[in-house]
Amino acid sequence: MPKITGKQVALGVTAVFVVGLVIWRFFGRSSPSSSLSELGRGIDTSSTSRPPSTGLYNDLINDREPSPTNIDVWSSSSPTPGGAIMNGYAFGGLTRGNVTTLSNRLYGQANGHWTWEGGGAGDSPSAGAKFLDGNLQAGECGYLANALSVLLTSDNPYGAEQDNGLFQVVTYSGKYPTRGVGSKNGFISAHANTPLNLEPNVYTTLGVQVPFYWWGNHKVMSYDGRYFDPTYGTSQGGPGYYPDLESMAAAQIFSPVVPGDTQFGDIAVHSLFMTDDAAPRALRGVYIVCFENTSNQQLSTDARASTNRSIAIGPICESGGNASNSFNFDTSTNYLAGIDRLT
């Protein structure tokens, strides 16, 4: 992977301003906007505003005998999500195949009753219990990864009654560390069929939404060398798990560039990032990070607002069509010509 030199970064900043002028010209009619919210980027965060958990799985993770009322709700004709997953289901022996089946059953229940929403990472078994007990209808991927772990370790008939030490909720943040150190830069994943009511956040330079999602990080559950993902399940055509963490990425984000001025004309631009040279041709290049007003799908003007989400527009490649990590744009090319709104 080529390293970014000071000259290349300088060229990148120049390119940012060129892109900014283009955005200002073609998106100047946009409505009020948003911050770089965790809802837009797919970054798990913690939250103290979630309600306390009650229910059968909350009893179990706190080593309490489930109350008769909670048992009745779990097994009723309108059961909790955990009850719907486990009622009438025989887990059998602990195998990768049985863990996959349970994860996919969890995804099926979540996809009908849960919306991915930023603002609460769900980094604990209690978060998984909140989902399984039906105490929340929205949250981030940590809720579902922890819910799978809770199902696997809860006593029969409420779970698979397996050893807690066999399972771990892990976070993947991409391959490349920011500026060579520290946190990772994130990645782009396949994102077809709008899983968990979460719209893709990647657009082409023609303003067309494409089935990919730009994640800052994503949580899954590991067991026996596999990574099970109840956020996506089989919605992307796979079995519902990854053989390794990098397999969840359709493209890796090699490096971000944050310009000194994040306002171009009337449009708020947060940054640029580029995928690495191993990315598929359709995803290889530089992306502009802007803000989308979710009510009218137009680019936004105020990065401090809270109603919108961040999106990535790209890839923008060099004039020859080949990506490289140098930002040597042909500055005479108007990459966003003719776009006045996202569609």
| Digit-coded pLDDT (tens) for 59-95 | 999 999 999 999 999 999 999 999 999 988 899 999 9
- C-alpha to C-alpha distances, 89 to 86, 101, 222, 332, nearest whole angstrom: 5, 10, 22, 62
| Structural domain that includes position 119 | 56-167
Residues 257 and 213: their CA atoms lie apart, in Å, by: 19
Domain check: are 257 and 286 in the same one? Answer: yes
What kind and span of H or E run contains 136? none
Question: What pLDDT does 181 receive?
Answer: 62
Residues 343 and 340: their CA atoms lie apart, in Å, by: 9
Answer whether residue 231 is part of any domain: no
Of residues 115 and 272, the one with the higher pLDDT is 115
Residues 220 and 243: their CA atoms lie apart, in Å, by: 12
Work out the average pLDDT over 234-256: 94
Domain check: are 108 and 71 in the same one? Answer: yes
Answer yes or no: are the C-beta atoms of 229 and 220 closer than 8 Å: yes
Work out the average pLDDT over 218-244: 96
Work out the average pLDDT over 282-292: 87
Domain check: are 20 and 107 in the same one? Answer: no
For all residues of the chain together, what is the average pLDDT?
78
Is residue 52 pLDDT above 70, yes or no?
Answer: no
Is residue 273 pLDDT above 80, yes or no?
Answer: yes
Question: What pLDDT does 258 receive?
Answer: 58
Residues 299 and 289: their CA atoms lie apart, in Å, by: 11
Answer yes or no: are the C-beta atoms of 272 and 286 closer than 8 Å: yes
Domain check: are 211 and 338 in the same one? Answer: yes
CB atoms within 10 A of CB 117: 17
Answer yes or no: are the C-beta atoms of 144 and 117 closer than 8 Å: no
Q: How confident is the model at residue 99 (pLDDT cuts 50, 70, 90)?
A: very high
Answer whether residue 229 is part of any domain: no
Residues 70 and 59: their CA atoms lie apart, in Å, by: 9
Domains identified in the chain, total number: 2
Which of 323, 251, 330 lies closest to 18 in space, CA to CA?
330
Answer yes or no: are the C-beta atoms of 152 and 144 closer than 8 Å: no
- pLDDT tens digit string along 315-343? 876 544 444 444 333 444 444 444 444 44
Question: What pLDDT does 339 receive?
Answer: 46
Question: What pLDDT does 257 receive?
Answer: 63
pTM, to two decimals: 0.81
Of residues 326 and 277, the one with the higher pLDDT is 277
- pLDDT tens digit string along 18-45? 344 334 333 333 332 233 333 345 544 4
Domain check: are 161 and 180 in the same one? Answer: no
Answer whether residue 228 is part of any domain: no
Strand partners for 40: none
Answer whether residue 40 is part of any domain: no
Question: What pLDDT does 78 receive?
Answer: 92
Domain check: are 69 and 154 in the same one? Answer: yes
Structure tokens at 336: 């966003």
Which of 271, 277, 312 lies closest to 188 in space, CA to CA?
312
